[in-house]
Amino acid sequence: MGPDAGADFPRAVLLSAARGVLEATREMLLSHSPANITDTELEIEAIQERVLEEAGRIMKPSLRKVINATGVVLHTNLGRAPLSPAAIEAIKEVSEGYSNLEHRLETGERGSRQEHLEPLLCRLTGAGAAMVVNNNAAAVLLALSALAKEREVIVSRGQLVEIGDSFRLPDIMKQSGAVLVEVGTTNRTSLADYGKAIGEETALIMRIHQSNFRIIGYTEDVSLKELVGLGRQYSIPVVEDLGSGSLVKLDAKGLSGEHTVGESIMEGADLVTFSGDKLLGGPQAGIIVGSQEYIEPLRKHPLARALRVDKMTVGALEATLLEYLDPEAVWKKVPVLRMLTEPTESVKRRAARLKRIIDRARPADLEYLVTEDISRAGGGSLPTTEIPTYCLSLSHKRLSAAALEEMLRKSEVSVLGRLKEDRLLLDMRTVTDTEVSLLADIILNVA
């Protein structure tokens, strides 16, 4: 090891790594009988090696790229929606310098960051007003805090969802100070149930998208239209938490029918909230659209400041929304829409390409074949939709599928697949064309 071995690391990091390693070595000497310690462990070279390893560990970013071969398009733990090139460009542009984030260039006056997004959101949904906060949970919290604090919100028991990682919508709602009035039963709620619950203290009727589950069998649910009718009768606003909130009809592309945000507005919802990074395919954000009358109190509420989005989100969301102005091209431009609707044959070609690259290296212990399977939308979206896909199905002569999974997960660039019947499936629907050769390298490295 030369004198420059540590040249890639800042001196402070090397120093701290050296202290850590020496401390650990000292402890080893104190706690082991000398017979158990090999001389090589104490050689200066070996200690230097450990110091460099430790410095490398300190300097390695914790948050880093992974290859998503799980087939779950909106994988919450893997960061949900990958962004379009235009959104990435917007983030770069607004973050490397200054921008007109809250400055009106026409007049030189102070503006609002919402002005970059509101006209687009209104155009794309038909709403009269819009605002954006940090995520959809924040959107629900803000709407209830501003419109229903210490008053009653009527919700069906069939819609009190846990959205994942033990975050329960009823808890978020209670945090706002609103009083939940639960009506109906888990599987059946009627319009009369809502009607009977309306009283002096009713501030809102709330409809929540069931997102990540479906109740089937003996069920009854009240449509948004019916709720809006009831709300109008008593002058009570109706708020819909759409969860995923698609701006485009997915049915035409063979994905089961989600209400679009525009349809909810057309049917008369006073406010609709949805995520920016689910089916919309943009950055993490909570989008609220509706009438001026109900958006205005949200804008003025002190929480609006606490929940506000940063400039990178504004830039990325605006760029993503601009893609939707071309209703044909958007299916190719927004990665989430592209992945969800890519023809199965095209996914199969990518799987075959991966297989061909591996073929060339003839790995002796690896068995691999292209198989058909099912991808999922994920992120609590389209829970019952099965999207046909193709995977590279792997097994190894000397490793279990679980061991293979672990090795790929812990490789220099992590690869995440899914285990099925003692094989590891790498779903090519969520792997991009540009990742294929890297993925092949990683597989061959592990094999």
Ligand X SMILES: *Cc1c(COP(=O)(O)O)cnc(C)c1O
Nearer to ligand X, 169 or 288 (CB): 169
136 is an interface residue for ligand X by CB under 6 A: yes
Torsion angle defined by CA atoms of residues 316, 164, 431 and 86, in that order, rounded to the nearest 10 degrees: -10
Nearer to ligand X, 241 or 258 (CB): 241
Residues 6+ apart with CB under 8 A from 288: 130, 131, 132, 133, 139, 142, 143, 271, 272, 273, 295, 298
User: Which pairing describes strands 414-416 and 66-68: parallel, antiparallel, or unpaired?
Assistant: parallel
**At closest approach, how far in Å is the CB of 206 from ligand X?**
11
396 is an interface residue for ligand X by CB under 6 A: no
Tell me how far apart the alpha carbons of residues 375 and 6 are, in angstroms, rounded to a whole number: 45
For the chain, give the longest Cα–Cα distance.
87
**At closest approach, how far in Å is the CB of 393 from ligand X?**
31
Cβ-proximal residue to ligand X, closest one: 243
208 is an interface residue for ligand X by CB under 6 A: yes
Tell me how far apart the alpha carbons of residues 430 and 72 are, in angstroms, rounded to a whole number: 7
**At closest approach, how far in Å is the CB of 261 from ligand X?**
13
- Answer for which of 163, 271, 295, 354 binds ligand X (CB under 6 A) is 163
b/e per residue 380-417 (b: at least 16 CB within 10 A): bbbeebebebbbbbbbbeebebeebbebbeebeeebbb
- Answer for which of 84, 156, 189, 211 binds ligand X (CB under 6 A) is 211
380 is an interface residue for ligand X by CB under 6 A: yes
Residues 6+ apart with CB under 8 A from 284: 80, 134, 135, 275, 276, 277, 313
- Answer for which of 275, 313, 375, 430 binds ligand X (CB under 6 A) is 275
**At closest approach, how far in Å is the CB of 334 from ligand X?**
17
**At closest approach, how far in Å is the CB of 335 from ligand X?**
18
Interface with ligand X: number of residues (CB under 6 A): 14
Answer for the pair 137, 163: CB distance below 8 angstroms, yes or no.
yes
Beta-strand runs (E) in 64-148:
66-68, 129-133
Answer for the pair 170, 201: CB distance below 8 angstroms, yes or no.
no
Q: Give the binding range for ligand X (CB under 6 A) out of 49-57, 203-211, 321-329, 351-359.
A: 203-211
**At closest approach, how far in Å is the CB of 208 from ligand X?**
5
**At closest approach, how far in Å is the CB of 211 from ligand X?**
3
String of contacts with ligand X for each residue 277-296, x by CB under 6 A: ---------x----------
- Which residues are at the interface with ligand X (CB under 6 A)? 135-137, 161, 163, 169, 208-209, 211, 241, 243, 275, 286, 380
